[in-house]
Amino acid sequence: PDREIAFEAVDFDYENLDLTGIADGDTIRFAMDNAGAQAHEFEVLDPDGEPIGEVAATNPGESGGATMTFTAPGVYTYQCILVDPATNEPHTELGMIGTFDVADG
C-alpha cells in the first residue's frame, strides 16, 4: 500500500478518520479498531455507488483491515450498513456515513 489510515469506530461515528490526500491510483490500507459497544464495518463505494472494498464486520474490542485501490477520481462514500439491534436502524441512518474526494492522479 501507499499508506495506512488507522481509525476507530466508536458508537455511531468513525474517529480519527483522515481521508485527505488520496489520489487516483493510490492503494490504501485501512486499519479499524472497534472501540464501540457493537459490531461495525467500513465499506467504501466508488463515485458510481459500487463497492470497492470493506473492513468486514468487526466486534467490539477487535480490529480489522482492508486494502483498497482507488482507480478513478471523484467523490467516494464510506459507510457502515450493519443494523442497530436497539433501533432496528442501519448504522448509516445513525451517522456512520460520509464522503471524501479522490484527486486526479
Which residues neighbour 73 within 8 Å (Cβ) at sequence distance 6 or greater?
23, 24, 101, 102, 103, 104, 105
Write the DSSP assignment of 33-76 as a string of letters: EE-SSS-EEEEEE-TTS-EEEEEEEE-TT-EEEEEEE--S-EEE
| pLDDT tens for the 105 residues of the chain, in order | 999 999 999 999 999 999 999 999 999 999 999 999 999 999 999 999 999 999 999 999 999 999 999 999 999 999 999 999 999 999 999 999 999 999 998
Specify the pLDDT at position 82: 97
8 Å CB contact between 11 and 35 = no
Specify the pLDDT at position 105: 81
- Cα 48 to chain centroid distance, Å, stands at 16
C-alpha–C-alpha distance, residues 32 and 6, integer Å: 6
8 Å CB contact between 9 and 55 = no
